[in-house]
Structure 1
Amino acid sequence: MSDQLPPQPLSGTELSARLRGLAAQGAAPATGAQARSRAQRRRRSRRVALFVTALAAVALTAVTSGALGSATGAAVPPAASVSHTPTHAPSPAPVQRVTIDLDAHTLTIEGRRFPISGLQDNRPIGERAVTVTAKHPALTLPPDKFSEYVPRMQWAVTFTDRHHHERLLMWALDPSAGLNGIGHDSGAGSIALAPQAGKWVYDVIRPGARVEIKGRQAASADPDSVCYERQPVTGGH
């Protein structure tokens, strides 16, 4: 059993004296309003501390990610630079030029000139500039309706006329036919060359060649049915 005596209750005078002493020392108990204000300040302080901590964590993450990204980027070799130097397409081959002079009875191609047969007055070619369409080692034309002669041409070169018909432009005389027509106006709608010259021209001339036809041509002509060399070429004929 304790030997201490139980505390004696304070009288009103003693309690008032003690409270005044505490107030004088600044330790007086807070009122209800003061207690609530202090609690609010403590809560605000805790929230600010949590917010600052969260911001610090975000900043640390960003710095770490940036450092990792820099390290990763440094490890990847730079992409090979693409050259922007323009590439030049090869220039198209120049158009081959050929000149037929009906008055001089000559054909000029690749710097060489050959004698030709000219055109009969009533059987002109009817064109001043044509483009070579095709070449035929041998070509059989429709027969002459009056004489039933069947023209057979070798080393024939053709063009397409304004009516979109393929027509004979030049050919080489058969060696057995002689050279009677060379240098004279004997062609029936096309020109002819000597055998060796005709073969050389046939080999050199290219489809797409532009042929200028100079010299006199009759303004009118017999019908194409009469000018067998003016007949449209179809297939091997």
Structure 2
Amino acid sequence: MSDQPPPHPLTAADLSSRLRGLAEHGETAAPATGAQVRGRAARRRRGRRAVLSTGALAAAAVTTVAAVTTGALGSSHKPAAPQASPSPAPVQRVTVDLDAHTLTVEGHRFTIGAPVSFCPIGETTVTVTAKYPVVNLRPSEQHVGRAGPRKWAVTFTDRGHRQRLLLFAMETSDLPALGKDGILGAVALAPADGKRVYDIIRPGARVEFTGRQAARTTASDAACIDRQPVTGGH
């Protein structure tokens, strides 16, 4: 038998303390093996690849957002192209030559009966207001001129804000005035020509008068039957 006393048994706390000390001493003192070095390098490479993959995914997300916003890269969400406003239709031009007794519109020329000097149109340029298949004129106070219907009537608005006859188609009784100054305050065309001009001319057309024309009426409006105000078809 040994004379030495038996060793004092270790408690759980003493054992845990000694194990931690051995672990710490091993990490600082023991050199890393080749396997440990290779393992650490592999872990660092995996970490770098993970960082690069995350960055690539973020860049792809930004590119996708940009494509959706701008319509790039063939995205189906392309912005709508700005639509150009439609150009306004050109203003139709009509010329009435009071000396030559002609009316020209859309390249067509027609012979007219022009106003008599004492019942002129009173304007050098007018705008077509409306068109009526028929308007009816009242008898004048002086019983001058032909009362009743004016077919294929085209009207304008004068300086006094009255709608008045501009053009109409003659009746057979008016034909002697064709090519002359014989209409009491408007312009008249042969029956067939009146219908053609009525069909061609558009509201808003600009009508210019050239040649001789008195600046104002020397007779009363009551005598110039074709200067009566027109209201609708009346």
Q: TM-score, normalised by structure 1?
A: 0.66
Name 2:184's counterpart in structure 1.
188
CA displacement at 1:219 relative to structure 2:
3.4
Name 2:89's counterpart in structure 1.
93
Name 1:114's counterpart in structure 2.
110
CA displacement at 1:196 relative to structure 2:
0.7
One-letter amino acid of the structure 2 residue matched with residue 169 of structure 1: L
Within the alignment, does 1:127 sit opposite 2:87 as a pair?
no
Identity, in percent, stands at 51
Cα-to-partner distance string for 1:187-227 (whole Å, 9 max, x where unaligned): 10001000111100000000000000111122342121221
After superposition, residues 64-213 of structure 1 pair within 5 angstroms as 70=58, 73=61, 78-79=67-68, 80-81=71-72, 82-83=78-79, 86-147=82-143, 149-174=146-171, 176-177=172-173, 179-213=175-209
When Rg is computed on C-alpha atoms for both structures, the one with the higher figure is 1
Question: Which 5+ residue runs of structure 1 have no aligned equivalent?
Answer: 1-62
| Counterparts of 1:178 and 1:123, CA distance in 2 | 16
| Counterparts of 2:123 and 2:191, CA distance in 1 | 25
One-letter amino acid of the structure 2 residue matched with residue 120 of structure 1: V
CA displacement at 1:183 relative to structure 2:
0.6
CA displacement at 1:75 relative to structure 2:
10
CA displacement at 1:105 relative to structure 2:
0.4
Report SS of the residue matched to 1:226: coil
Q: TM-score, normalised by structure 2?
A: 0.67
CA displacement at 1:232 relative to structure 2:
1.1
| Counterparts of 1:234 and 1:161, CA distance in 2 | 13
Report SS of the residue matched to 1:177: helix
Report SS of the residue matched to 1:108: strand
Task: Identify which range, 220-229 or 96-105, moves more after superposition.
Answer: 220-229
| Counterparts of 2:107 and 2:129, CA distance in 1 | 22
CA displacement at 1:121 relative to structure 2:
1.4
Cα-to-partner distance string for 1:100-126 (whole Å, 9 max, x where unaligned): 011110000111111000111110010
| Counterparts of 1:219 and 1:189, CA distance in 2 | 12
| Counterparts of 2:163 and 2:179, CA distance in 1 | 26
Report SS of the residue matched to 2:139: coil
CA displacement at 1:68 relative to structure 2:
10
Question: What is the aligned counterpart of 1:223 among 217, 220, 229?
Answer: 220
| Counterparts of 2:162 and 2:220, CA distance in 1 | 15
**Structure 1's 73 and 106: CA in aligned 2 closer, same or farther, altered over 3 A?**
same
Task: Tell me the number of residue pairs that the alignment of Structure 1 and Structure 2 aligns.
Answer: 179
Report SS of the residue matched to 1:179: helix
Report SS of the residue matched to 2:214: coil
Name 2:14's counterpart in structure 1.
none
Deviation >3 Å, runs of 4+: 66-69, 74-78, 81-87
